[in-house]
Structure 1
């Protein structure tokens, strides 16, 4: 009997303890924590972490009007807590890390008078702490390109180093900047901003080494010089407008011969190259040829000619900056060979005609010279011509130039006296 009474009393007491915390239990799962931090940070610098209680999934659930109903609980070890503030349904802490590493920080919210009750919301964040300087290298240019980390050559670049020090830990430090632009140019400045102009295209890496020095009071009241360094880099892709296309290839080709033409792009590699053979050198219209993607400054195109004639390679190249056109004439050599053969034949015919003309003119001249001599029977009035001329004319030209057979026979007698006469004398008788 007594045991039953005590059992009932125990249950009543248990329920009485749970009743004050019923609203917190009902709120569990309806809220969440938004965490923000200004990390990363260098060792010795202060890091700020804030947590805010909000309705879960941006629902229309109203937040409690009495902000004193809830309490924030933090776990940040081994980071050293330097400050904590709470305002409304948010809480902020400030911690310092003296060794590098990644440190987890957790927070949860419970009812104000029951820290052992079920949490209304939980949050978790990792703080990266480094022994080096923290910052970013930012590159800007007046002309922006749609490609990531892409910039124009021959246009001034602004390169800036932005130190990340939200707690002003390095406010008394003196900085020195050592720049390397990746093209052989180096410089040292005391300013965190420099201006530079790349004259050639390509991919370059800007490297920066930052040194910070400041005085710090040690625990023994003496002053010492502290130093921190940091290495930063940024990759840049320098682009240029297409100033033209250099075409290297033959201008004469034979039928059914494969021809290769090399295109050298004067400027940044284009995104697309388009070409087509035309009877005349005219610009390509949109959709007139199929574009080809090109990722270098040179491209080879090949084609086999199957029909004789004159052709023109019409080429268009473009990138996101500009576009350009170029032309290259090609002549199929079978047509040239036919023309060459015709020209050779005409030359031979002209030479033959000239030869025959000169030969006839020479023969006529010889005939005229021979006709100037008198080949009639020799007499005192017609002295005999020189023997050499006479012989030549009689032996070579005589048969063609003498007009009567008697003259020819006379010449034969004189030159062939030992031969019998060509006719017998006729005897006459008197009856």
Structure 2
């Protein structure tokens, strides 16, 4: 096994030594081309394209020591070639595009003495050419935020336009910059750098229109004013530090009563909010409560207290810029109205008791009415009374009625006494 490995390694080393003198067909597939370009470019500007011959897949294969063994071949039509240079195992060309579009450029490498042989390596690139100015709008701030395109309000922003003109095609041009910051502010400058301060949070789009003018000598030896324009934009998300939390809610509540507390955040969302009830107003520690993501500047907390006492809402909120704490004290009193699970049996018992009292009252009233309307007891009862009461039983009805009248003063007298006067 070891002998086979050493044999294969020896073959590779022998091939690498003979490669500079080998035909192009043997080297095919062992190398590749790395292409670089400074495009995109505006029409009339020069574009540079470079191709370098390197070992494929970054292998340990040695490059040929004699650079004259290989030759680079380019196809760039309809771009106009303005220059070409070769150095070692690399080649560079300079081309100009006079019309806008995407133009393919290809290159391949063959043996120097056999350009019809199989290529050692091939390369391909597309050059974008535009009739407008080429550049970037860059926004920077002293305070960097972890989110892309996010910046602080009330902090100066530096907005710069960087022209892409590696061939110095526009070195004699005069530029004019028209700025629109998306919040109603517009300005025109001759400088490609401005400083601006946003006072409110939100998402804004900075728009820039660039105009370049220069003089150019025409083929008839006359001078003319040339002009190129370009429109650029950048989206900005302005955020504010979290200055505090405004808590709106009751400070006194009864048990078994649903309570809602509104939190107003004085800062920029999105936020991470965490809260917990404590007997005292103390800051929350990390991992003490479950965080909740809030996408607006307001959030509602709901809770129902079952036990009376003094409580404190401990609240922590943070955004990508800062964090803050807030507290809200509340007293919970025993509820006067018990829950329905206890109120229903009590109400049923009270209803039964009231019905029983009303029944007894009506029954007593009916018995008293019968006694008044029927003062003479039945004959059987009277005989019984005569036998039981003996001498206490009255013989005449008048005497009985007189006793009834004296005992029941509310009944009117059945007769009036008549007094006799002697003249």
TM-score under structure 2 length normalisation: 0.73
Distance in structure 1 (CA, Å) of the matches to 2:17 and 2:363: 145
Distance in structure 1 (CA, Å) of the matches to 2:80 and 2:397: 151
SS at match of 1:179: strand
Contact conserved, 1:270 with 1:317, CA < 8 A, in 2? no
Question: Residues 357-376 of structure 1: matches in 2 within 5 Å?
Answer: none
Once the two structures are superposed, what CA deviation does each residue of 1:396-418 show, in whole Å capped at 9, x if it has no partner? 99999999999999999999999
Report how far residue 384 of structure 1 moved.
57
- Residues 188 and 414 (structure 1 numbering): CA distance in 2 closer, same or farther, change over 3 Å? closer
Q: Which runs of 5+ in 2 are unaligned?
A: 338-345
SS at match of 1:394: helix
Report how far residue 249 of structure 1 moved.
2.4
Report how far residue 147 of structure 1 moved.
1.2
Contact conserved, 1:28 with 1:119, CA < 8 A, in 2? yes
Contact conserved, 2:72 with 2:108, CA < 8 A, in 1? yes
Matched, 1:67 2:67: yes
Report how far residue 321 of structure 1 moved.
2.1
- Residues 408 and 252 (structure 1 numbering): CA distance in 2 closer, same or farther, change over 3 Å? farther
Report how far residue 50 of structure 1 moved.
0.3
Distance in structure 2 (CA, Å) of the matches to 1:388 and 1:3: 144
Contact conserved, 2:20 with 2:65, CA < 8 A, in 1? no
- Residues 280 and 363 (structure 1 numbering): CA distance in 2 closer, same or farther, change over 3 Å? farther
Contact conserved, 1:71 with 1:109, CA < 8 A, in 2? yes
Matching residue of 2:406: 414
Structure 1 moving runs of 4+ over 4 Å: 1-22, 342-369, 382-431
Contact conserved, 1:21 with 1:111, CA < 8 A, in 2? no
Report how far residue 178 of structure 1 moved.
0.7
Distance in structure 2 (CA, Å) of the matches to 1:345 and 1:86: 109
Contact conserved, 1:394 with 1:411, CA < 8 A, in 2? no
Distance in structure 2 (CA, Å) of the matches to 1:6 and 1:309: 85
Instruction: Give the stretch that moved more between structures: 315-324 or 208-217.
Output: 315-324
- Residues 233 and 239 (structure 1 numbering): CA distance in 2 closer, same or farther, change over 3 Å? same
Distance in structure 2 (CA, Å) of the matches to 1:183 and 1:424: 109
Once the two structures are superposed, what CA deviation does each residue of 1:279-303 show, in whole Å capped at 9, x if it has no partner? 2222212221111112221222222
Matching residue of 1:374: none
Instruction: Give the stretch that moved more between structures: 356-365 or 276-285.
Output: 356-365
SS at match of 1:133: coil
Report how far residue 251 of structure 1 moved.
2.9
Report how far residue 362 of structure 1 moved.
45
Contact conserved, 1:241 with 1:322, CA < 8 A, in 2? yes
Once the two structures are superposed, what CA deviation does each residue of 1:87-120 show, in whole Å capped at 9, x if it has no partner? 1111001111111111111100000111111110
Instruction: Give the stretch that moved more between structures: 39-48 or 200-209.
Output: 200-209
Report how far residue 311 of structure 1 moved.
2.2
Answer with 1 or 2: which has the greater Rg.
Answer: 1
Once the two structures are superposed, what CA deviation does each residue of 1:344-366 show, in whole Å capped at 9, x if it has no partner? 99999999999999999999999
| Number of matched pairs | 412
Contact conserved, 2:20 with 2:66, CA < 8 A, in 1? no
- Residues 364 and 227 (structure 1 numbering): CA distance in 2 closer, same or farther, change over 3 Å? farther
Distance in structure 2 (CA, Å) of the matches to 1:290 and 1:283: 15
Distance in structure 1 (CA, Å) of the matches to 2:164 and 2:138: 13
Report how far residue 47 of structure 1 moved.
0.3
- Residues 368 and 415 (structure 1 numbering): CA distance in 2 closer, same or farther, change over 3 Å? closer
- Residues 418 and 31 (structure 1 numbering): CA distance in 2 closer, same or farther, change over 3 Å? closer
Distance in structure 2 (CA, Å) of the matches to 1:307 and 1:226: 83
Once the two structures are superposed, what CA deviation does each residue of 1:20-70 show, in whole Å capped at 9, x if it has no partner? 984311111111111000000001111000001111111111111111110
Distance in structure 1 (CA, Å) of the matches to 2:42 and 2:256: 72
SS at match of 1:326: strand
Instruction: Give the stretch that moved more between structures: 142-151 or 156-165.
Output: 142-151
Q: Which runs of 5+ in 1 are unaligned?
A: 337-341, 370-381
Distance in structure 1 (CA, Å) of the matches to 2:123 and 2:289: 59
Distance in structure 1 (CA, Å) of the matches to 2:354 and 2:12: 137
Contact conserved, 2:44 with 2:96, CA < 8 A, in 1? yes
Contact conserved, 2:405 with 2:412, CA < 8 A, in 1? no
Matching residue of 1:22: 22
Report how far residue 243 of structure 1 moved.
0.6
Contact conserved, 2:109 with 2:120, CA < 8 A, in 1? yes
Contact conserved, 2:55 with 2:61, CA < 8 A, in 1? yes
Contact conserved, 2:155 with 2:197, CA < 8 A, in 1? yes
Distance in structure 2 (CA, Å) of the matches to 1:275 and 1:205: 36
